[in-house]
Every structure is written in structure tokens, then in C-alpha cells.
Amino acid sequence: GAAGDGDSVNVQVILRCRPANAEEKKARAPTVVKCAEASREVHVSQTIAGKTHERTFHYDKVFGPQSEQAELYETAVTPIVDEVLSGYTCAIFAYGQTGTGKTFTMEGGIAGAEKTYVKDGALAADAGVIPRSVKQIFETLEANGSEYSVKVTFLELYNEEITDLLGADTLDDKRKLALLEDSKGFVTVRGLEEVIVKTPDEIFDVLNRGTVKRRTAETKLNKQSSRSHSVFSVTIHMKESTPDGEDVIKVGRLNLVDLAGSENIGRSGAKDSRAREAGEINKSLLTLGRVISALVEKQPHVPYRDSKLTRMLRDSLGGRTKTCIIATVAPSVNCLEETLSTLDYAHRAKNIKNRPEVNQRVTKTTLIKDMTGEIDRLRRDLLACREKNGVYINAERYAEEQAERKKLDETVLALEQQIEEKEEELAKVQKLFETKETELDSLKDAHDQTVCVLQATQGELKATESALDEAHEGLEERDYLIASHERSQKG
């Protein structure tokens, strides 16, 4: 349900297990994953040294192999899209091993190179989260009867490089797209094409356009979509009237993320440059794992900046966004290791807390002013580009970026100073420890010498005591002899 503005809410985690595929059926691979949808649990059987162990994981929602696309959407996603239409930023991302149904869950079935989202005017039964959310957004906006505008962006992150899947640039002539952070901490991609859409069909065309560009890149640039992340974003501006009759604009955003396959590089058959590339791809996923761990363990430093993916998803993890993770797994023993890895990962992510904030409503005047300012800034950049070849930003913007760089340098310097201070402190402690050790050694020597002297003194004391005893005996003997002699004289 909807949380109050700024309240802390946990990231919602949904687990979906796909049915056995033809390969698994043919090999008669044992099923080791059982989904208990009612109790929202997943049971995994694992045989170790001939003994079967069962592990149980609990999630916010569980969908078994027989679950339908519509069922998953209506139960888990409909409430999230309602939040977007209330003016929140929401994120849904699919995580799991390649071949477990991430893209099927997010986009739907594939017919040739293009997906068919609509059949006979209605959504196809296998349509995924993206087409269904698009349909819900437009239907709700139409039913409300208010003025609105919808724009979309579609990007791919591959090998730590961002590609605009809707941009006019060809695959050979690819612009380098940079990430920029605004004053509120929101990260945007500079130069990313925003397409205004008026109907669900227009969005489906845009989706197909991006998907085709992605598939072409797979063939032409030897890319594998299983190794790339994609982010499809929908931004909605909705007009409302305040009680005093002023028009305000409410903004809702939905980010739909299809993450790269989570499989380990060692099991994905990658060699040489492919292995290095997988390392760069895994860099994003590994950083995502570290970010999740840092947030769950409440560590003071969260390594968002270590990869572009985590920079882009920063607000979705521990930020102001309402977030849902759909984790996908396979049912058979063949994928057991990866399945357990995904289940653990998703289980940890359940403990991340976000503080969703409704996007600030702005008056039409403010919005127009902001847009005019943005257009002016772009014009200045364009002018700077035309006047001086190779300079793509004007002096004011360059100064801003230099100031950001300076701030970063200062942070680095402060950290270096902290490290230096800590190292000095450590050296002092070590020196003190060494001094104490030397003192201890001297005391040990002195102690040993004292023990020797004591032992010698004790020996002398014993000898003196013996001599004394002998002297006493001699004295007693002499006294006895004198007394005897005196008695004989008298007698």
C-alpha cells in the first residue's frame, strides 16, 4: 500500500520460478525448487554427501512455474504503477541467471525480431511488465480526463558504456553518453533522447525500435544482450488544479530495468577479451551486490560510484524511490548453484530501506521557467560548440563541472589526509608497542637475574643454617662433657 511521504519502506522482493524447459525435460533433470505461493516461500532441496537438505526462503510474493503474466502483473505491479500516477518515482528491476525468464517477465514473448504486444486490440497473453504498465498508465490518464504528457527513454549499459537505443546515431558513430548528477542527487544521462508518446501503440513502436537496435548490435558488434543491462524509463507530467485554482504539474517516473545475467564468469564460457568484458559487466553486478550489502549492514560508505549501473540506480537503492526487485530462477538441479546465489541475493535485498518522497508538484510558471532555462543552456552549449570546434560546453557549464571536479578532489584530499593521520596514529601505537616490548624484555632479564641471586642466597642460607645446627650440636656436646667432668671431680 502507499506509505506516508518520507516514511521508511523496505524494497519489495518478488520471486518467480520458470517452468522446466525442453532441454531439462529431455535430460529428465530433477526439480529442486518448490514454490509455496500461499505462504510466500521457496523450498530448495540440496544433496550434500548423500544427504538431502532443504533450505527455505521467504519473500514478499512468490510465483511458481504455472503463474501467468497477468497474475504477476496484477498482484505485484499494478500497485506500483498507481504510485507512479500519484507522483512517485518507482523502479522495477529483474535479476537472475540468463535463461530464467527476466526479459520474458519484463517485456514478454518474442515473435521474430519484433515482439507482438497487442493481438486483436488487446494485450497479448504473454505481454510482460513493460507493455502492461504502459497500458495501465494511459488507461488511468484517459479515465482521469486531465491533461498529461508522457515521454520515454531507452538505454543499454554494456561494458560500462551507455548506448541510447532510441537515438538517431548509427552503431558505428556512437556518441559517448555521460552521467550527470543534479543538486538533489538525481543522476541523469546527458544527451539521452526523450521521445514524446501519445498512445500505448507509439510506446510499443519505440520499444521495438530499441529492441531491434539492441539485436543489431548483438550481431554487428558481437554483443550479447545477456551481458548487458537495459533501462526503459517512462516520465509522466500530469496537470492538476489546486483549491485556489492554480494549475500545478505532478511528475511520476517509472524505471524498468532488465539486468545482465547474474551467472558467474567461470561458468559462462568466457575466454580472453570476452572474459575481460564479462569482468566489466560483472563489475556492475558485483558493485550492485556490494551496494546491497553495505545498505543492509548499514555501513557508513555505500560504493554507488564504483559502477555506472549503481550510479544510475542510486535513488532506487536506499534513496527516495519505491523499488521492487523481481528475481527469476530455474527449477532444475542443473542450475542449483546459481539459483541459490539468486535466492540469497534477493533475500538480502529485502532488508534495504528506502524513504520514498512524492516528486515536488510545480506550478506551470516554474516548469516553463525551468524548461526555458534548460533550452537557453543547451543553446549556449550549441553556440560554444559551433564557435570553437572540440568545445561542447559553454564557459559557465565548464566552470560548474570544474567546481564539481574540485569538490571531488577536495574529498579525495580529505580522505588522503585522514588515511595519513590514521597511519601516523598506527605508527605511534606500533612504536609504543615496540618500546613496551623492550621494557618487558629488560624487566624479564632483571627478573631472571634476581631469581638467580635469590637462588644463590637461598643456597647460602641453607649452608649457614646447617653450620649453625652443627655449632649448636658441638656446643651442647661440650657443655655435656664439662658437666660430666665436674661431676667426676666432686666424686
Q: Which residues are annotated as a binding site for ATP?
A: 96-103
Using alpha carbons, select from 351, 293, 356, 313 the residue that is nearest to residue 8: 356
pLDDT value at residue 128: 92
Confidence label for 177 from pLDDT (cuts 50, 70 and 90): confident
How confident is residue 485, by pLDDT bands cut at 50, 70 and 90? confident
**CATH 3.40.50.720 describes domain 9-360:** no
Most confident of 23-32, 181-190, 420-429: 23-32
Task: Enumerate the domain spans of the chain.
Answer: 9-360
**95 has a pLDDT exceeding 80:** yes
Digit-coded pLDDT (tens) for 243-289: 877 778 889 999 999 998 887 444 444 445 555 555 565 677 888 88
Nearest to 235, CA basis, from 189, 271, 170, 286 = 189
The CA dihedral of 140, 141, 146, 151, to the nearest 10 degrees, is 160
Give the pTM: 0.71
- Hey, how many other C-beta atoms are within 10 angstroms of the C-beta on 351? 14
**Residues of the binding site:** 96-103
Least trusted range by pLDDT, from 55-59, 364-368, 403-407, 454-458: 364-368
What is the average pLDDT across 209-231?
A: 74
- 26-35: long-range pairs with CB below 8 Å, 24+: 27/334, 29/332, 29/333, 29/334, 30/332, 30/333, 31/331, 31/332, 31/333, 32/331, 32/332, 32/333, 32/336, 32/339, 33/329, 33/330, 33/331, 33/332, 33/339, 35/62, 35/63, 35/64, 35/65
Tens digit of each residue's pLDDT (9 = 90 or more) over 121-162: 678 888 999 999 999 999 999 998 888 999 999 999 988 889
279 or 65, which is more confident: 65
Average pLDDT of every residue of the chain: 82
pLDDT band, residue 366 (cuts 50/70/90) = confident
- Is residue 111 scored above 50 in pLDDT? no
Residue 6 has pLDDT above 70, yes or no: no
Distance, CA of 88 to CA of 82 (rounded, Å): 9
Angle at 369 between CA 367 and CA 370, to 5 degrees: 65
Q: How far apart are CA 238 and CA 150, in angstroms?
A: 9
